[in-house]
Chains A and B, each alone.
Chain A
């Protein structure tokens, strides 16, 4: 049980970090697409979602692994 609680805590703390990161990257994309260029709304939204998704995929394991290492007693 203790192990499961640790896993949940790691997942929660990691989410608090990687979710804002991916959201931030996605919004940055949207900002650039809006400010620099005349893209259709659908293209901007589609691109934002795709970039956000890939950023999430990139950041999730990096952040989770780091939080796990910081939490591990041997670190």
Chain B
């Protein structure tokens, strides 16, 4: 039996850096029955697939806590109505405990409550309420509990507040410590500072609460990690702070111990190092809060309340309790709670927040409405068709969340480096210590040397103190603190920015691939063109001897069009539908065919009123030995205008031809022009004949034409381009062009509307606007630029700092970096990454919605011609 893997997204608390990510990933991967484990620092989530037959959530939670982190559990109290006895209690508890994600459920019969402990993100409150309803009871939340958005925001705010408090204490007291340490250098300012502040004992007493208060998190986290055999950046900080503080205490209490004496008390190192590292942590917490704004904005669109009509009575219920087929009333100014179909009423709905349509869309009976959009003018009732996680809005949120949780290949490399870096740093610290202890101090030590940016002399420090100082500085300065955030923060900002413009990037890998594209292939019909062709010309063959079966006269244009339309009556092909529409527009009566056969890639044959009718391209006519020479010139002329020509043969003789044309989409030429400016080669793929395809391509500015391609061969054409060594994107219909989209390095499904779940492809363009291809590319490039910049800022301080921190230049300049300066540099690297990521918020695509199509740059769309023979 095939294993049914389930996908789960677990919240993980306690991660602070890339090596934490690495440890959690390893712990989950080591479990039997997991696959595709991805841990994201920016979203604090671990996403994985697991086999429920081999593994439970409890096993995963334990694996995470074994390596020193936690999966937070949330508590919720439900009011349960309808319970009367102990067996009711057992039923309700059993129903809740069966839900994946529920850790415990305790029902109190006397209070009519069920207290549930669960993992947020794995199970929802609506699922719990539904489970209780399914066993025959009613449940609702006891109080207006926070929804997922509020909980998530609350958790982030708590973290920001916690680190902010730590920063205030560590920073505030640290400044006082610094003033006391440098008392002798204050000059005239000494008048404002009490002398006792400079006493080592006092400085020690001030530093102690910093190290044991705000600094305690580093010691507890590293001890927890070490006892589970893992190392992370907390260890670097704990070792550095602990060593500086420890030596300072020894030199204060036992100045003659030989560790450098009173002149080598580095309390300010311990204090300021703690403060600067916490500054970095606080900034990271802020960044994580800001960059998930896109999700927050989308989540805010989800209405909380729905007005349901049940038993002819209006009831206001939580929106997540709406069931399919419920009749819902929406008044002017209200948000539509779920997806549905209008049953009665009429209104205009603002769908701009989801689809980007700037004008309100009219809705009448039978029209679809989307949950999260805003009803403007009228009141109407509609039947719910999609609720809960199936609504368009929920699908979009999930897609953006999944994208933000995913990892780009470049990030996997950065995480791997950071994860292995910690051990390497400790080895380096040993090497630095040993070198300076045995060799360097004797050869190079200068009693007049000092710290960079400090007049503090190192004269009394001694061999051990000096070597330890350099070793500790190397530990601190090597820490790649910002690496863990560099890529995910940029990816979050980028996916959020794209979502604002109706471009949904499904995974971080899609962003990285999109930024490297060299060729973009457009499907023609429905992508570059509007996909609604119409009949432009009907030409009768002058040499045709075909007689109409109805009036026994020579065929006219109407006869020809009618026969063709009857043959195509049940066709789903856009060209066939165009012929049917053209015949109906002329008032021609369409009867059923007597027989019908579709020949893929060529046309159709049918028996119409006892006549054998063939309708299709040149290939079909040649195969059936129909002589179309007389029509060839006219066909070429029409194809040269970009029209698609279909030949009609009746009883084996060429009867005439019908020309059909589709109009180009607005902005098609401009979009292609912008892509050329980005250095992208453009191609068009179509089943049309080459002449027609090239005419369209000329109008739009396409570089390469792939014509006469059968639908099943589109993926092959994409593969051929890839075989030339190109990175290829395919833009087309997410359902019909699925194989080609899947084959491409980046598949872009355009005009998906809001049913995003069924779309194949790495990028989903919600609106039917070709400009969004340019937007997708530009956002991807901007995001990857940001990723690379962030990685640069994250690593540059380490790269430059390690030689300095290890004392490589000391023999020449007699200066070394103090541990607290090293800590400040690490905090600055976090600041740099944070600020750099926030700059992405100001990104604007080069093709904007309010821009009008420019005349003269691209070719105008072809005008429809009237049919000949009218």
Chain A residues whose C-beta falls within 8 Å of the C-beta of B257 in the assembled complex: 42
B331 within 8 A of A: no
Which of A3, A39, A54, A68 has the most chain B CB within a 10 Å cutoff? A54
Q: How far is the CA of A16 from the CA of B258 in the complex (A)?
A: 34
Which interface class (under 10, 10 to 19, 20 to 34, 35 or more) fits B? 20 to 34
Return the CB mask of A40-75 against B: 1 if under 8 Å, else 0.
111100110011011101101111110010001110
Main secondary structure of the interface of A (DSSP, over half): helix
The docked-state distance in angstroms from the alpha carbon of A33 to that of B66 is 39
| Whole-angstrom distance between the Cβ of A54 and the nearest chain B Cβ | 5
A43–B423 CB distance below 8 A:
no
CB distance from A13 to the nearest CB of B (A): 11
From B79-87, B222-230, B629-637, the one touching the partner chain is B222-230
Q: Say yes or no: A60-B426 contact (C-beta < 8 A), given A39-B463, A54-B433, A74-B32.
A: no
Would B426 and A54 count as touching, CB distance under 8 A? yes
Q: Is the CB of A62 within 8 A of B430?
A: no
Scan B463-491; emit 1 where CB is below 8 A from any A CB, else 0.
Answer: 11001100100000000000000000000
Query: Is the CB–CB distance between A58 and B430 below 8 Å?
Result: yes
B62 and A57 form a contact (CB under 8 A): no
Q: Roughly how many angstroms separate A32 CA and B434 CA in the complex, as a whole number? A: 10
Known: A65-B229, A73-B32. A54 touches B62 (CB 8 A): no
- Taking CB atoms, residues of chain B closer than 8 Å to A53 are 239
B434 & A61 in contact (Cβ 8 Å cutoff): no
Given A10, A43, A47, A54, which contacts B429 in the complex, CB threshold below 8 Å?
A54
Q: Which residue of A lies closest to B467 (CB)?
A: A47
Please tell me if the beta carbons of B235 and A50 are within 8 angstroms of each other in the complex: no
B412-463 contacts to A, CB under 8 A, are 423, 426-427, 429-430, 433-434, 437-438, 462-463
- By the criterion CB–CB under 8 Å, are B464 and A42 in contact? yes
Smallest Cβ-Cβ distance to B30: which chain A residue: A72
A11: which B residues are within 8 A, CB to CB?
A: 227, 229
Q: With A and B bound together, what is the CA distance between A3 and B467 in angstroms?
A: 43
A46 close to B468 (CB less than 8 A): yes
The reply to whether A32 and B438 form a contact with Cβ atoms under 8 Å apart is: yes
A41–B250 Cα distance when bound, in Å, is: 15
Known: A36-B438, A54-B430. A62 touches B423 (CB 8 A): yes
Q: Which of B229, B259, B429, B464 contacts A68, CB < 8 Å?
A: B229
Which A residues lie within 8 Å of B429 (CB)? Answer: 54
Contact residues in B for A61 (Cβ distance below 8 Å): 226, 229-231, 423
The verdict on A9 contacting chain B, using a C-beta distance below 8 Å, is no
Contact of A51 among B59, B227, B434, B463 (CB under 8 A): B434
- Nearest CB of chain B from residue A21's CB, rounded to whole Å: 13
The answer to whether B468 and A50 have CB atoms under 8 Å apart is yes
A25 to chain B, nearest CB (A): 8
B243 at the interface (CB under 8 A from A): yes
Residues of B near A51 (CB, < 8 A) are 430, 433-434
Q: Give the chain A neighbours of B468 by CB distance below 8 A.
A: 46, 50
Query: A62: which B residues are within 8 A, CB to CB?
Result: 423
- Residues of the A chain whose Cβ atoms lie less than 8 Å from the Cβ of B430: 51, 54-55, 58
- When the two chains form their complex, are residues A29 and B226 in contact, meaning their CB atoms are under 8 A apart? no
**List of A residues within 8 angstroms of B433 by Cβ:** 47, 50-51, 54
Chain B residue contacts of A74, Cβ below 8 A: 32
**CB–CB B30/A68 < 8 A:** yes
**Closest Cβ of chain B: how far from A39's Cβ, in Å?**
7
Question: Shortest distance in angstroms between A71's beta carbon and chain B's nearest beta carbon?
Answer: 10
Q: Once bound together, how far apart are the Cα atoms of A74 and B29, in whole Å?
A: 11
- B231 contacts which chain A residues (CB < 8 A)? 57, 60-61
Contact assessment for A7 and B464 in the assembled complex, using a CB-CB cutoff below 8 Å: no
How far apart are the CA atoms of A30 and B193 in the complex, in Å?
A: 45
A43 with B229, Cβ < 8 A, contacts A29-B434, A36-B438, A68-B30 known = no
Residue in A closest to B236 when the chains form the complex, CB atoms: A57
Q: Whole-angstrom distance from the CB of B22 to the nearest CB of chain A?
A: 11
- Tell me, in angstroms, the Cα distance from A74 to B258 when the chains sit together: 53
Query: B464 near A14 (CB under 8 angstroms)?
Result: no
Bound together, the chains give a CA A43 to CA B231 distance in angstroms of 28
Minimum Cβ distance to chain A for residue B838 (Å): 35
Q: Report the nearest B residue to A57, measured CB to CB.
A: B426
**Cross-interface CB contact of B259 among A42, A55, A64, cutoff 8 Å:** A42
A3 to B32 alpha-carbon distance, docked (Å):
13
Bound together, the chains give a CA A3 to CA B423 distance in angstroms of: 27
Name 11 A/B residue pairs within 8 A (Cβ), A-sorted: A3-B59, A7-B66, A33-B437, A39-B463, A40-B462, A43-B462, A50-B471, A54-B471, A57-B426, A58-B430, A61-B231
